Chain A
Amino acid sequence: MARKLPKKDVVIIGLGWTGSIMAHELTDAGLDVIAIERGPWRDAPTEFPPSYAQDELRYRIRHELFLRPDQTTFTFRNKMSETALPIRTWGAFMPPNGVGGGGVHWNAETWRFLPSDFVLRTHLTERYGASFLPDDMTIQDWGVTYDDLEPHYDAFEYLCGTSGTAGNLKGQIKDGGNPFEGPRSRPYPTPAQKQGYGHTLWAKAARELGYKPFPQPSGNMSQAYTNPLGLRMGPCTYCGFCEWFGCGNYSKASPQTTILPVLIRKSNFSARDNSEVTRINTDSSGKRATGVTFVDSQNQEWEQPADLVILAAYSMFNVQLLLLSKIGQPYDPTANTGVVGRNFTHQAMSSVDGFFDKSKFNFNPFIASGAIGMCIDEFNGDNFDHGPLGFVGGGYLGQVQTNGRPIETTPVPSGTPKWGAQWKKAVADYYLSSLKGGSIHASMYSYRDVYLDLDPTYKDRFGRPLMRMTIDFHDNELKAAAYLTDKYADIVKAMGAEKVDKSPRKGSYDVTKYQTTHLNGGAIMGADPKTSALNRYLQSWDVSNLFVLGASAFPQNAGYNPTGTVAALTFWAAAAIRNQYLKNPGPLVHA
């Protein structure tokens, strides 16, 4: 029997990026807010000090910062006809755990999506006709536009101190930036990071091929920065231990460096760590959330009543909690009804390795930051004519090598033996003179048979069904991968590589090979409650005092890293709560 705690104005489930931003906004509005976090408290200088944070074995190989699969996991299958099995070691993605969430271990690539990404079905249908899209592709418009989100992208970038070069300032295209980006109201808060030799040569080759390369927008600081909350960050040292690692150098934007020190000083904020929310409670009508139930580390069950519930966990856990709490109609791919679990997507990553003459090229790959690199956007979204190509979507291409860490960085050309003297010689030859894993960061669009539901067999430690992923690549994404990989390889050849190894994304979705942690959808936003779980303010259509934050709201993925958009949507939802909902609690959109 759960013991009942005193009621709060707001309970937030999960204290990562979205939970931290929302907690800050709602405490500023004067509300009494509690955040409940499944994992431990994580303080940057205590948990990942620069004296030992650069431990590849501990963090990269042994996954210190991530959720332990024996705490909870997912089941996975490619096709509806298969039986899903539990994932026992993380591979394709890294579910975060603990305060700061994915904001602790991300690379800090801080992108905005293209204006056309938010109106995707309308845009593609207008340009190519409805019949151009595969029948089972379920992409849709978001219900918000780029212009709606622009002030909120800006707020996040200034919170983080994002380093970059504007390409479109109030409609004026600027040299050196991304000419395809939507108009931004002001420049990045800090100039772009310095680029390494490999990144610079790649950009030169891209420019010579007629593209317009630009520095990747980075939450690793190019210089010291003080954010609007008064929190200070230091310049990045290009240590090469960013993704998978925490930054105790105050150089990577994270909830720890940009929000939490201010949040924890507020008397109307409190947090419980090591406490897992097991369900969102609703009243007898099922239309109103009354709070949450959680279990602490002593296995004690507690009920936290609240007037407003903010679901801010990792995308798939958002969907799982909705299903377990029986909020919203579960998606049924056969009948094509329901919304919760629908339009689940990931990313379609491809890569190209380049091997160069070691007497002429020394890239010093260990000098890097998480979001270092030069990119082109000519092949992203609908920035190019898909008419003759027979697919839709795309991604940015970037020479964004983030490290030369010793365990992971053993680049050898294809055909090299897998072990022994020749392998060792090849590693020694190419460690400094190869470029590994050039990034082709492609979109993955949504399909009727790619979805999330509750597993019929496997349960977690509380006896709750695990989240079941049914996911596979469709031809559209594989065609795009092949096309983009060829374009990328042309640039590496133009750099003067002796050998170019292409690895376009192929075959079935493989849950053992890392792609990105960008799993999206399942509780998507939209204009129609028949095809979306949330309205345009991330408010549940079914339970109006529940807002669901995070990439679970994406109707489909775009060819970018998602955090900038996740955060912009959070600021957008926070503004709607502060300016509209609190004055008149209830549905913000009447469908």
Chain B
Amino acid sequence: MRSRIVSSIAVGAGALLFCVAGSYAANKLDGQDFTQVERGRYLATAADCTGCHTIPERGRPFAGGRAIETPFGNIISPNITPDPETGIGNWSDDDFDRALRKGVRSDGSMLYPAMPYTSYTKMSRDDVMAIRAFLSTVPAVRTQAPPNTLPFPFNIRAAMRVWDALYFTEGEFKPDPQKSADWNRGAFLVQGPAHCGACHTPKSFLGGDKTADYLRGSYLQGWFAPNITNDARRGLGGWSVDDIATYLKTGHNRVTAATGPMAEEVALSSSQMTDGDLKAIATYLKSIDGGQDNPAPVRADDPAMVAGQAIYRDVCSACHGIDGHGVPQLFPSLADSSMVRSDDSTTLIRIILRGARSVATKDEPTSPAMPSFAWQLDDAKVAAVVTYIRNAWGKPAPAVAADVVGKARTDLQPRTD
């Protein structure tokens, strides 16, 4: 029943894109209207509001308090339950809309872009009001989030005016009539509520998007969020639309599995989106050019390749196979994995050093995990095996040096899994 409701809403939302909406106020829905609340729930899921605004396992949805790591310090998510004093119960609809789509708080101060208003601005006011209607239905929790831990000068919110001038383009998503409905729906979701670029688009030294490298992968929080353009070597060029949709729905596909922050995204957000929306996202991502780049392969007789092959066969091949193809949906295919060939090998090195647990979903409950090899392989050995798996099965990638592994090992020390 639920899935039928959701898909009809998705179709409705898609259709809205092509309407020139009249004044929202003229036909404003009652805040308790089921259709609006349910649409808001779906958009809040697609926007993964809970990812930042709920502390996992605490049992207080949207009560905030979760620390969001940024390169500038930790930002603590606020309480967005309807509690009038500590939440957003006293906010007007305009306050809420301004926060989501303009990055301005109810008191007029500026939000930090850890709150992805830079993406949410693509939503319509109706979308945002639906989210508000949904958030009004969750239990109010009285709790004051602790203050942020940003150092000077980042603790000066007014400075965000300059940042916004540099990096924020306000405005609703405008469909491209030359493209398919799927493409437009996907573009709206990716650029808007799903805010994929927040992790996957490289950032400037001020944390703004490098728009020329849109969705070409970015380091964050001890991971490298990979290139999700159609780039054949480093991106999703080798994936079909179905591969992408299956990954977003189940956390697993024939090539790889979601771990780290993406595992959380799949569990909380994309696994709960409709198949149609996931296909739309995939259709859009497949249309994005990732640039061209064909590095020379590392020679098979390179000492790192020789050592790497021996290590690979000894400790990796039991699961991933001598041929690097693994087992679909269970052990990732390193031969086909673009993450393996990423320019930034942070994630690959991290998984070898720390191990990783893939996400469990209703459709793929196995949640297979890879063990840690930090105690077994020193920096040179990790570098050798990384270099080997980046070059053994075609579509080569540059060698990785031992000191890169050493730096990653140091960087990982204080991090929890």
Binding site for B on A (CB under 8 A): 45-46, 49-52, 224, 226, 229-235, 237, 239, 248-250, 261-262, 265
Contacts and interface: CB of A to CB of B under 8 A. Distances in A.
B355 interface: yes
Interface of B: 315, 318-319, 327-331, 355, 357, 360, 362-373, 376
Given A224-B330, A239-B318, A261-B360, A232 B373 contact: no
A59 to B, nearest CB: 16
Given A49-B355, A50-B371, A51-B373, A234 B363 contact: no
A45 B368 contact: yes
Nearest to B250: A230
Contacts of A230: 363-366
A436 B331 CA distance: 34
A249 B315 contact: no
A49 B371 contact: yes
Contacts of B330: 224, 232-234, 250
A249 B320 CA distance: 11
Contacts of B364: 230, 232
Given A230-B363, A234-B327, A51 B372 contact: yes
22 contacts: A45-B357, A45-B368, A46-B369, A49-B355, A49-B369, A49-B371, A51-B315, A51-B371, A51-B373, A51-B376, A224-B330, A226-B329, A231-B365, A231-B366, A232-B366, A234-B327, A234-B330, A234-B331, A239-B318, A249-B319, A250-B330, A261-B367
A231 B252 CA distance: 12
Contacts of A262: 365
Nearest to A236: B318
A262 B327 CA distance: 20
B252 to A, nearest CB: 9
A250 B318 contact: no
Contacts of A49: 355, 369, 371-372
A1 B249 CA distance: 49
A248 B362 contact: no
Contacts of A226: 329
A377 to B, nearest CB: 32
A33 to B, nearest CB: 18
A253 to B, nearest CB: 13
A224 B327 CA distance: 7
A453 B15 CA distance: 75
A262 B364 CA distance: 9
Contacts of A265: 360, 362, 365
Nearest to A239: B318
A224 B326 CA distance: 10
B255 to A, nearest CB: 15
B284 to A, nearest CB: 29
A51 B315 CA distance: 7
Nearest to A224: B327
B318 A45 contact: no
**For B360, B368, B370, which residue has the most chain A Cβ atoms within 10 angstroms?**
B368
Nearest to A260: B365
Contacts of A234: 319, 327, 330-331
Given A262-B365, A265-B362, 16 more contacts: A45-B370, A49-B355, A49-B371, A51-B373, A230-B364, A232-B364, A232-B366, A234-B331, A235-B327, A237-B318, A249-B318, A249-B319, A250-B330, A261-B360, A261-B366, A261-B367
